[in-house]
Amino acid sequence: MFPDNKGYTGEYSIVDSNPNYALNDSEIISLLSELLGSPNWLGGDKQPFVLIHSKNNDPVSNIARTIEREAFEGRFPSNTAEMMRDTYKKYEDSSHFILIVDRRNNTPVGTMRLIENTETGMISLDDVFLDPIDNDNRGWGRENVMVNGREVRSSKDLTDMGVVGLDIATIAIRKGFRREDRRSEEDISDYIILGLFYGLNEFSKANNVDLWFAILDDRVLKHLEGFGLFFDTYPGVEAKPYLDSPRSTPVFGVPNRLREDFKNRHTEDGLYRLLAQGIGIQEIFYMGKEAPF
């Protein structure tokens, strides 16, 4: 149902389709140089950022995994490469990545992992049902939850209902580029969030996604709400420690409703035109010559 990455059709000199959460800087630079030097990506010299969609087995997806691990391990020390590999092992084949690259210094700055709802499920919904007693306090142990007015007991229930779900499994901004890092006078964290959610929005529209799911650390949830993105919570399901985060909350969102709410909040400042309609987005992000989603 979901598309393969259209970003690169040549041969990488570094080819490792196995999930790798610990690329070194030289491997990242080599992979990016080969990708952005390929015919689909030549041009777009005026835009400061590149937005890339990468499927799970594309070598570039390992750049996203490395950024994902760096960001999480920096905040939550138990999130090592080994732990990340173990956590997402069953979901790797159904993972997609949105990757943002600052082309001014050829540096990946942020990524978002999306997991399509296949027979293996979605981690952000599966863990709501996971028994915390048998899983080192990971999970909420719920038998069912109400999702947009319907009772759900598993990710499979959504498929049986004919509902297309998509898991926003991780949102990661690289250390030094988050708002609180204040690495320089230029704060690009909002551009990174804008690009990631534009990618999510376009990916969702291209694949007729009905519902988004996530488990968000409270700081991330607060940041998104400050940006004007308000997700729904499950009745009776509260924040708790999760994968080394001191407080995380399981949430879901109806894309069309979130877009309309975002439109009402940002009609005057133009963010809705950028994020939901893509008007002006290509002046900020280069997405190659082909439609990336």
Least confident of 25-29, 84-88, 109-113, 256-260: 256-260
Written as one letter, the residue type at 75 is R
Q: Which CA distances in Å does 244 have to 74, 100, 247?
A: 11, 25, 9
pTM confidence score: 0.91
Instruction: Give the pLDDT confidence score for residue 10 in this predicted structure.
Output: 44
For tokens 């210094």, name the residue: 105
Instruction: Give the pLDDT confidence score for residue 281 in this predicted structure.
Output: 85
Kindly report the CATH number that applies to the domain delimited by 25-286: 3.40.630.30
In 3-state terms, what secondary structure has residue 94? helix
**Helices (DSSP H) in 89-236: which residue ranges?**
123-129, 155-161, 189-206, 218-227
Give me the residue spans of the domains in the chain. 25-286
What CA–CA distance (Å, rounded) separates 142 from 199? 31
User: pLDDT by residue (tens digit) across 37-59?
Assistant: 888 888 777 888 999 999 888 88
Instruction: Give the pLDDT confidence score for residue 28 in this predicted structure.
Output: 94
Least confident of 89-93, 199-203, 265-269: 265-269
Q: How many CB atoms lie within 10 A of CB 186?
A: 7
88, 95 contact by CB (below 8 A): yes
Question: How many residues does this entry show for the chain?
Answer: 293
What CA–CA distance (Å, rounded) separates 95 from 114? 6
First to last CA, the chain: 12
**Helix H or strand E encompassing 62:** helix 61-75
